[in-house]
Amino acid sequence: MSAAPLQLVGLCKQYGALSVTRDVNLTLEAGARHALIGPNGAGKSTLVHQITGVIRPNAGKVLLEGRDVTAMPAEQRVKLGLARTFQINSLFNHLTVAENIGLALSAHRGLDGRIGRPLPARPAFVEEAVECLRELGLLDLAGRRVSELAYGQRRQIEIALALALKPRVLLLDEPVAGVPSTEGKRLFELLERLPRDVAVLVIEHDMSLVFRFARRITVLVEGAVLLEGGVDEVRTDPRVRDVYLGKRGHHD
């Protein structure tokens, strides 16, 4: 049997006396649609930073397709197939969507040096970017300048850009945050069209998205896994309701 696309084994992170990640185990299966949820301050961002390589755990391991990447820098993890949604400010406003993705492709393959320098993308990469947009049902945005796009469309392009790198594992950090409901439908459609062979971990506060998109859910509370299970199991678990509706409060 081949190794899981992503596996977290006993991850621990402390800041002084504060334990922010406590012995977290999590496995993304091939083709996973897995959500990580938890109230404010549960440690979701800190966990994601340990997956991407922004911070190092004090103990435990991060395995990408069975390979121990715990000590590996973030860029190298991207090269090995770990992508996360890019922040909007990584898009060049004056370039078209296809040019932006073409540039990311050339930077990823180490051909144009730094991504921060908007040289014209090579035509072959722009063509590949257009093909990628077509597969995702976003072809109509290919020739538009990023500056002309609505907020929800930019969020779609961040996802398309991460996917263009052909990752094995995709981390989506709050993909619908701040997107007006009028633009939400297309974003949902895009999430439903993500390639089946990419394992996806979504970190999200919007429960309607989580329950619609995910097949497995991990609930993080005070740095530890409270529960992992299928959607119905998590939705109906009284402990989860307590965390979200009880005295610990939740994100609005």
Ligand X SMILES: Nc1ncnc2c1ncn2[C@@H]1O[C@H](COP(=O)(O)OP(=O)(O)OP(=O)(O)O)[C@@H](O)[C@H]1O
Shortest Å, Cβ 12 to ligand X: 13
Shortest Å, Cβ 175 to ligand X: 14
Residues 159/131, Cβ–Cβ less than 8 Å: no
Tokens of 222: 């005070």
Distance from CA of residue 16 to its chain's centroid?
28
Site residues (vs ligand X, CB under 6 A): 15, 18, 20, 38, 40-46, 251
Shortest Å, Cβ 54 to ligand X: 11
Q: Which is nearer to ligand X, 128 or 204 (CB)?
A: 204
- Tell me the C-alpha distance between 101 and 245, whole Å: 41
Q: Which is nearer to ligand X, 45 or 58 (CB)?
A: 45
Shortest Å, Cβ 79 to ligand X: 26
Q: Which is nearer to ligand X, 99 or 204 (CB)?
A: 204
What are phi and psi for residue 75, nearest 5 degrees?
A: -60, -35
Q: Which is nearer to ligand X, 134 or 239 (CB)?
A: 239
Phi-psi region of 41 (alpha: psi -120 to 50; beta: other; left: phi over 0): left
Shortest Å, Cβ 236 to ligand X: 23
Shortest Å, Cβ 241 to ligand X: 18
Shortest Å, Cβ 126 to ligand X: 36
Task: Judge residue 140's burial from the number of C-beta atoms within 10 Å of its C-beta, 0-12 exposed, 13-18 middle, 19 or more buried.
Answer: exposed
- Tell me the C-alpha distance between 130 and 142, whole Å: 6
Q: Which is nearer to ligand X, 52 or 153 (CB)?
A: 52
Q: Assign 74 to helix, strand or coil.
A: helix
Q: Which is nearer to ligand X, 168 or 251 (CB)?
A: 251
DSSP H stretches of helix in the chain:
44-52, 74-79, 97-108, 123-135, 151-164, 181-192, 207-213, 231-235, 238-245
Q: Assign 19 to helix, strand or coil.
A: strand
Q: Which is nearer to ligand X, 61 or 251 (CB)?
A: 251
